[in-house]
Amino acid sequence: MNTDPDCIFCKIVAGEIPSFKLYEDDETFAFMDINPVNPGHALVVHRAHHRDLFEIPAADVAIATRAAQRVAKAVQATLEPAGMNLLQCNGPAAKQSVPHFHMHVIPRHMGDGLTMNWDLVQGDMDEIGALAGKIRASL
Ligand code: AMP
Ligand code: ZN
């Protein structure tokens, strides 16, 4: 499987750097975003390193999307937000900051003011870890 030793998400998948893991199987890995735009913000990746939507094989998109649906259902069951966005960014103008194809699972609330391009603000690690535990229980 294709990996990049310099890629932060490849390192997370390999367990070389820590993450609040939600789910993993032979092909996918899901974990909490440590700069959550809303509580419960999670990321889902295919284990294989592909830069973006334009490089990843279609079959791997399908596999990652299936895992994202599973994680989104667990986030929904845990937090019961009024809405949910799945977001996937490609390239600098779309604010892709990590060049390893990934899907954002983002709980939404009425009037949460979330715009498409947000600034990274580090979250509370205790709160993120606690939510990870609750969401894992729904997987
Ligand atoms: P994007 O802008 O679509 O490339 O999103 C990358 C996301 O990865 C951002 O929302 C970051 O907060 C998140 N991120 C970066 N490093 C880490 C990390 N070590 N653990 C969890 N999330 C991360
Ligand atoms: Zn990677």
pTM: 0.92
Q: Report the atom number in ligand 1 closest to the C-alpha of 19.
A: 20
Q: Are 84 and 105 in contact (CB under 8 A)?
A: yes
Q: What is the pLDDT of residues 24-75, one digit of tens each?
A: 999 999 999 999 999 999 999 999 999 999 999 999 999 999 999 999 999 9
Distance 9 CA to ligand 2 centre (A): 5
Question: Is 104 labeled as catalytic in the residue annotation?
Answer: no
Q: Which domains, ranges and CATH numbers included, belong to the chain?
A: 8-138 (3.30.428.10)
User: Looking at residue 109, what DSSP letter applies?
Assistant: -
Indicate which ligand has the atom closest to the C-alpha of 123. 1
Higher pLDDT, 134 or 119: 134
Interatomic CA distance for residues 84 and 72, integer angstroms: 8
* Structural element, H or E, at residue 128: helix 125-137
- In the set 46, 50, 100, 102, the catalytic residue is 102
